[in-house]
Chain A
Amino acid sequence: MVSSPSPSAAAASALFPAAEVAFDIRALSLWYGSFQALRDITLQIPARQVTALIGPSGCGKSSLLRCLNRLNELVPDVRIRGEVYFEGANIYAPDTDPVEVRRRIGMVFQKPNPFPKSIYDNVAWGPRINGYRGNLDELVERSLRRAALWDEVKDKLRQSGLALSGGQQQRLCIARALALEPDVILMDEPCSALDPIATYRIEGLISELKSQYTIVIVTHNMQQASRVSDYTAFMLAGEERVGELIEFAPTSQFFTKPRDKRSEDYITGRFG
Chain B
Amino acid sequence: MSPPAASYSAPHLMRRRLRGRLFEWLALASTVVAIVVLALLLLDVLHDGLPRLSWSFLTNYPSRLAARAGIAPALVGSVALIVLTAALALPTGIAAAVWLEEYARRSWLTRVIEVNIANLAGVPSIIYGLLGLGLFVRALNLQRSLLAGALTMALLVLPIIILNTREALRAVPRSQREAAYALGATRSQVVWGVVVPAALPGIFTGIILALSRAIGETAPLIVVGAVAFIAFLPTSPLDPFTVLPIQIFNWVSRPQPAFHANAAAAILVLLVVLLSLNATAIVLRDRARRSLRW
Contacts and interface: CB of A to CB of B under 8 A. Distances in A.
Interface string B170-187: 000101111111111110
B231 interface: no
Nearest to A115: B194
Contacts of A109: 175, 178-179, 182
A117 B106 contact: no
Size class of the A contact interface (CB-based, 8 Å): 20 to 34
Interface stretch (B68-76, B158-166, B236-244, B286-294): B286-294
A177 B182 CA distance: 8
B175 A100 contact: no
A116 B198 contact: yes
A176 B183 contact: yes
B189 interface: yes
B291 A177 contact: no
A93 B276 CA distance: 57
A220 interface: no
Interface string A110-124: 010111110000000
A115 B176 contact: yes
A116 B201 CA distance: 12
A96 to B, nearest CB: 13
A218 interface: no
Contact of B173 (A100, A113, A129): A113
Nearest to B294: A162
A162 B173 CA distance: 14
A113 B179 contact: yes
Contact of A99 (B186, B194, B291, B294): B186
A116 B184 contact: no
Interface in A92-114: 99-100, 102-104, 106-107, 109, 111, 113-114
Contacts, number: 74
Given A113-B179, A115-B176, A130 B193 contact: no
A130 B292 CA distance: 25
Contacts of A111: 175
A111 B294 CA distance: 11
A160 interface: yes
A233 interface: no
Contact of B185 (A69, A107, A129): A129
A173 B179 contact: yes
B216 interface: no
Nearest to A122: B179
Contacts of B175: 109, 111, 113
B177 A116 contact: no
Nearest to B289: A116
Contact of B179 (A99, A115, A130): A115
Given A113-B173, A116-B294, A117-B291, A71 B183 contact: no
B197 interface: yes
A71 B177 CA distance: 11
Contacts of B182: 69, 71, 102, 106-107, 109, 177
A130 B184 contact: yes
A165 to B, nearest CB: 13
Interface of B: 106, 173, 175-186, 189, 193-194, 197-198, 291-294
Given A115-B179, A116-B294, A173-B179, 10 more contacts: A99-B184, A103-B183, A109-B178, A109-B179, A111-B175, A115-B198, A125-B193, A130-B184, A176-B183, A180-B183
Interface of A: 69, 71, 74, 76, 99-100, 102-104, 106-107, 109, 111, 113-117, 125-126, 129-130, 160, 162, 173, 176-177, 180
* 4 nearest A-B pairs in the assembled complex, by CB-CB distance: A103-B184, A126-B183, A107-B182, A113-B175
23 contacts: A69-B182, A74-B177, A74-B181, A76-B106, A102-B184, A104-B184, A107-B178, A109-B178, A113-B176, A115-B179, A115-B180, A116-B197, A117-B291, A126-B183, A129-B183, A129-B184, A129-B185, A129-B186, A130-B184, A162-B291, A173-B179, A177-B182, A177-B183
